[in-house]
Structure 1
Amino acid sequence: MVSIAITMKGQVTDFIQMLNDRINDPIAQRRLVLLIVSMALLLDNMLYMVIVPIIPMYLEDVLDWGSDDEAVVQAPFNATWNSTYNLTAPPKSDSSSDTDYAEGGGAVGILFASKAIVQLMVNPFTGALIDRIGYDIPLMIGLIIMFFSTIIFAFGETYAVLFFARSLQGLGSAFADTSGLAMIADRYREDAERTKALGIAQSFISFGCLVAPPFGGTLFEFAGKVVPFIFLATMCLVDGILLLFVMKPVRLERSLIPKEERPQGTPIYRLLMDPYILVAAGALAMSNISLAFLEPTIAMWMKGTMDATEWQIGFVWLPPFLPYIGGVVLTVYLAKTYPNYQWLVALVGLIIEGVCCFIIPFSSAFFVVLFPLMGLCLGVAFVDTAILPTLAYLVDVRHSSVYGSVYAIADISYSLAYALGPIMAGQIVQTIGFMWLNVAIMLSNLLYAPVLFFLRKIYEYKPFTDECDILVADPPPKDYSTYMQNGGLPNGKIKEVQNLNGENHLRVGKNSENTYIGNAEIDYFEPKDPETYSFYGPR
């Protein structure tokens, strides 16, 4: 028994040492950072969408908000996701669908939008705080706030408590989302790697939005309201613990740097005066307006125009996830191959979004409407994956390489779209109709797309690269010079001493992919006859 205990203790010690080595290894550490941030973004967006099938039905069943006199509180999300997953769909009214569209401006619509509204108001302050104290502490603050807001969601029983929990989640998201994206940009300094890492993080965001409604609806149906929120709260706790261990070496390194020597971030008001950053942030807002305004209204439109069934309404957003992932992968490839044309990728994405929005109202069958929605998500992936690394690049070349405030601006762009969508979409459709809503989105995207031509000039300047930011495993991105002095050996190949021919002083050559190509001369003397001369003594 004692020997078994000693063996187990040794195995545990070896495992802890292995984890410690991985955490202190720069390459492994930044991969762990990417995992932790992606997990935080996944949880944030799952919590954002998991209430869609739960809260409206809970308010209707438990708080008795389902009467005809109080129908105004039924949001379009209620009809969308409750009917999708066969939970308790609200009774179908004999009134016109316009009334159903307009319900998004009621209490449930405001409840859904409260997160984005709080996030919108808090982000300017969180960006400045992140620039001042670093990225890990604000991310931990965000995870802690998300944990408590999820617990409140689990046990809250009144509209006021649920509204407070939703608003508290917005506060946590302002810390977690902004610091998470900034941390990825800080860990991945090379443009192609940064684009890839941010693309992976965005895929987790999309997956969280996709999987949360069926996840929450199923658990709510079979296990009750508390279970899905407890699960998400537990995952927040696990992610926070991982963050504590992974970022410990970074905190130690930062503590050794005097405050006066640490890089100072550019204030957010100065970044907002940068026209390039404004153009990029506007592209993010435009690309997300389409989703923010279509998600609350497309379900009622499908019921009214094609008599869509419940499973069809739920399934309609599943296929677009695949082209979204494809768009991320393609943008990452294009960023590596054509790094100076990310603005063009975003421009094409806005055009695709606008065209697809125009096609949606003319799709009269369920199978047909899938294709413009897939194209819409493809365009969103193009814009988001191209613009987020571009914001970091703009800070590198035009400001200080501290990323809190610039990603606070990006989060403001997202929050602006999702704060207005749940509240205004139904009212707009009631006023001008679903088709004209899509026409307006199309015009906004197509009119904004040419503005992105303005970003093509940003690649005329290159950021300064500190040698401390380059990992040993990173290959040199460009050709480099080799200097050989006093009979140095090209390509590092060992030759016999007697084969050296007495070349003297400096010869400059270019190396590309470990191949010696060409030479130039600096104070270069002709080689002597190897039969009569040697550096290493007379022959």
Structure 2
Amino acid sequence: MTSRARRRRALQTASALLAFPYNDCLVRLWLQFPYCAITDCVWCFQTLSPATCLGRSAPGPPIDVEGDKPFHNTMLGCSLCQWLKDKRGSPSIVLVVVSGAFLVDCMLFTVVGPIVPAFLYESEFKNRNTSVKFHQSSNSSSDATYDSISNISLFNKSSEVPYQGQIGNRTHPTPPQRNCYTENNYFNDQNTRVGLLLAMKAILQLITNPIVGKIADKVGYDTPLFCGFVVMFISTLMFAFAESYLLLIIARGIQGIGSSFTVVSGMGMVAQVFPDDVERGKAMGISMGSNAFGIVVGPPFGSLMYDYVGKSSPFLVIAAIAALDGALQICFLKPLKFSPVSIPPTPYRKLLVDPYIMIAAVALFLANLTYGMLDTTLPIRMMEHMCAPSYQLGLAFLPCMITFFFSLITLSRITQKLGRWVFIILGTFIEGISTMLMPLAQDIYGLIGPSALLGIGFGFMEITIMPTMALLVDLRHTPNYSGVYAIADIALSLGYAVGK
């Protein structure tokens, strides 16, 4: 008995003992890995025709397991291939894949905000070979005598404090109660640097959105979504290993291009596979819920990982999640096969003069204008006036993101019954009130209430505006969604860029 025959018999015995189906695909996986099994199965995943996947032989030179003679091996017995083929393109799988892409996009979007100010601050003083000075407050005396002066350095996470003391009748300082940054001139300059870096994503996204909309009209939604994954993965790795301000700017710009591909194609794909308005509203609530979850997790995850592990760690975790979502796209979507939409798209000019679409776009602009402004100024204000450590810079956004998340996952059905326009108006008022309360906070605890209100306002607006724009296209234009969601993402990006 040849070695191939012995291995085949061993596979049959294991199949009987472990009760998993024995078929030709498993034989090929066992005998011909990696060439034949991978080419057969991936080729089967990429083919939707039943005649091709189930009735015809797979490409490549199949080898007979008993001898070394070619034979025709069909994929009929491959239960794994059949299951993947049945699930491929189903609405539930599409929703999972798109939600995963949105999760990666939003985590990378929000994780940068609390990291960048502290990282630039540390890098600046490391390059100057000076230390960061803190302002010490005290109200009691100490008997200790100190005759050495040392400094606090954020970069090496040391905790040495400058003391001045005298012997005898000399006064002595007290142990510090809290540490405050005193480089005010640096903070004034850093507002512009941080704002420009964070706004670079929105600027590039603003430019590429119309282009992505046109590409999606030509080739379908699958390929642009996969391109978004590739670009986002590259951007994440650049963030992980960038050590200069210029590289961070480039990584942020690349992120904006990837985000444009992801958002426009993802929202268009969800709107296409859920044609019913009620089901579409629920599906968009789920996809926006993954958005919200990424926004909830991003700031505290980034600030905690940066403070306790290092700058690269949060970005490497996000890159791993992105790789998993890319594998799902390869298995269940058609990223290498163009499938343009059959309905001719409505021109951008006609969409832009539609008053209802423009009202919805302006509402999205105002919502992101507020968030863009706070994302830049709030961490710097906390460092300068609240003496907040780096891990608190992301926790300040946590109440906002939690209420935003719960608003998205609970309001999808209520908005359909009470009217979406009611929630859009309420969201605008709540957002304005919460923004006016923000400057009154004196510490991180004072930010909890305004931040939570801000999340409710965001949730009211986003859960209603996105499905409303798809419904407007269905009722007033041709049901091709790439154009209208390109306009929606332009409004979001413009608000974020202006806010920065």
TM-score, normalised relative to structure 2: 0.70
What amino acid does structure 1 have at the position aligned with 2:182?
A: D
Query: Percent identity at matched positions?
Result: 35
Q: Is 2:466 aligned against 1:388?
A: yes
SS in 2 for 1:296: helix
Tell me how far apart the structure 2 counterparts of residues 39 and 364 of structure 1 sit (CA, whole Å).
Answer: 37
Equivalence for 1:94: 182
Quick check: 1:195–1:335 contact (8 Å CA) kept in 2?
no
1:277-321 residue CA offsets vs partner (Å, 9 max, x unmatched): 111100111122222112222345456766667665543322233
Q: Is 2:36 aligned against 1:36?
A: no
Equivalence for 1:332: 412
Q: 1:366 to 1:239 in 2, by over 3 A?
A: closer
1:169-189 residue CA offsets vs partner (Å, 9 max, x unmatched): 111111111111111111112
Query: Structure 1: which 5+ runs fail to align?
Result: 72-81, 423-539
Q: Is 2:205 aligned against 1:119?
A: yes
Quick check: 1:87–1:221 contact (8 Å CA) kept in 2?
no
- Report 1:181-192 matches (<5 A): 181-192=267-278
Q: 1:216 to 1:313 in 2, by over 3 A?
A: closer
1:391-431 residue CA offsets vs partner (Å, 9 max, x unmatched): 10111111110100110111111111221233xxxxxxxxx
SS in 1 for 2:346: coil
Equivalence for 1:3: 12
Q: 1:250 to 1:390 in 2, by over 3 A?
A: farther
Q: 1:55 to 1:145 in 2, by over 3 A?
A: same
2:367 to 283, 287, 290: 287
- Report 1:3-402 matches (<5 A): 3-7=12-16, 10=21, 13-23=78-88, 29-59=90-120, 61=122, 67=128, 92-94=180-182, 100=187, 103-106=190-193, 108-220=194-306, 224-248=310-334, 254=339, 262-302=342-382, 313-338=393-418, 341-363=419-441, 366-402=444-480
Tell me how far apart the structure 2 counterparts of residues 196 and 87 of structure 1 sit (CA, whole Å).
Answer: 50
Q: 1:295 to 1:63 in 2, by over 3 A?
A: closer
SS in 2 for 1:416: helix
Q: CA deviation at 1:145?
A: 1.1
Tell me how far apart the structure 1 counterparts of residues 98 and 262 of structure 2 sit (CA, whole Å).
Answer: 8
Aligned residues: 394
Tell me how far apart the structure 2 counterparts of residues 16 and 202 of structure 1 sit (CA, whole Å).
Answer: 31
Q: CA deviation at 1:59?
A: 4.7
Indicate the larger mover: 154-163 or 7-16: 7-16
Tell me how far apart the structure 2 counterparts of residues 332 and 248 of structure 1 sit (CA, whole Å).
Answer: 29
Tell me how far apart the structure 2 counterparts of residues 87 and 332 of structure 1 sit (CA, whole Å).
Answer: 49
Equivalence for 2:171: none
Tell me how far apart the structure 2 counterparts of residues 104 and 303 of structure 1 sit (CA, whole Å).
Answer: 12
Q: 1:87 to 1:360 in 2, by over 3 A?
A: farther
Tell me how far apart the structure 2 counterparts of residues 69 and 394 of structure 1 sit (CA, whole Å).
Answer: 58
Q: CA deviation at 1:233?
A: 2.5
Query: Structure 2: which 5+ runs fail to align?
Result: 1-9, 27-77, 133-152, 160-178
Tell me how far apart the structure 1 counterparts of residues 316 and 424 of structure 2 sit (CA, whole Å).
Answer: 38
Quick check: 1:123–1:411 contact (8 Å CA) kept in 2?
yes
Q: CA deviation at 1:197?
A: 1.5
1:73-107 residue CA offsets vs partner (Å, 9 max, x unmatched): xxxxxxxxx99xx899xx844366x973563212x
1:123-165 residue CA offsets vs partner (Å, 9 max, x unmatched): 1111121122211111011111112222233333443333222
What amino acid does structure 2 have at the position aligned with 1:378?
A: I
Tell me how far apart the structure 2 counterparts of residues 299 and 212 of structure 1 sit (CA, whole Å).
Answer: 14
Q: 1:349 to 1:20 in 2, by over 3 A?
A: same
What amino acid does structure 1 have at the position aligned with 2:191?
A: G
What amino acid does structure 2 have at the position aligned with 1:374?
A: A
Q: 1:17 to 1:409 in 2, by over 3 A?
A: same
Tell me how far apart the structure 2 counterparts of residues 372 and 58 of structure 1 sit (CA, whole Å).
Answer: 27
Tell me how far apart the structure 1 counterparts of residues 11 and 102 of structure 2 sit (CA, whole Å).
Answer: 45
Quick check: 1:41–1:176 contact (8 Å CA) kept in 2?
yes
Tell me how far apart the structure 2 counterparts of residues 58 and 364 of structure 1 sit (CA, whole Å).
Answer: 24
SS in 2 for 1:265: coil
Tell me how far apart the structure 2 counterparts of residues 250 and 398 of structure 1 sit (CA, whole Å).
Answer: 33
Indicate the larger mover: 235-244 or 281-290: 235-244
Quick check: 1:128–1:267 contact (8 Å CA) kept in 2?
no
Tell me how far apart the structure 1 counterparts of residues 434 and 123 of structure 2 sit (CA, whole Å).
Answer: 40
1:10-44 residue CA offsets vs partner (Å, 9 max, x unmatched): 277434433332336xxxx1111111111111111
Tell me how far apart the structure 1 counterparts of residues 444 and 116 of structure 2 sit (CA, whole Å).
Answer: 28
SS in 2 for 1:51: helix
Tell me how far apart the structure 2 counterparts of residues 60 and 223 of structure 1 sit (CA, whole Å).
Answer: 18
Q: CA deviation at 1:388?
A: 0.5
What amino acid does structure 2 have at the position aligned with 1:353?
A: E
Q: 1:158 to 1:278 in 2, by over 3 A?
A: same
Q: 1:250 to 1:328 in 2, by over 3 A?
A: farther
1:334-387 residue CA offsets vs partner (Å, 9 max, x unmatched): 23324xx21121011101111222233344565443122211110111111101
Tell me how far apart the structure 1 counterparts of residues 265 and 335 of structure 2 sit (CA, whole Å).
Answer: 18
Q: 1:92 to 1:49 in 2, by over 3 A?
A: same
Quick check: 2:113–2:375 contact (8 Å CA) kept in 1?
no
Tell me how far apart the structure 1 counterparts of residues 158 and 399 of structure 2 sit (CA, whole Å).
Answer: 22
1:470-516 residue CA offsets vs partner (Å, 9 max, x unmatched): xxxxxxxxxxxxxxxxxxxxxxxxxxxxxxxxxxxxxxxxxxxxxxx
Quick check: 2:223–2:335 contact (8 Å CA) kept in 1?
no
What amino acid does structure 2 have at the position aligned with 1:3?
A: Q
Quick check: 2:360–2:465 contact (8 Å CA) kept in 1?
yes
Q: 1:70 to 1:193 in 2, by over 3 A?
A: farther
SS in 1 for 2:343: coil
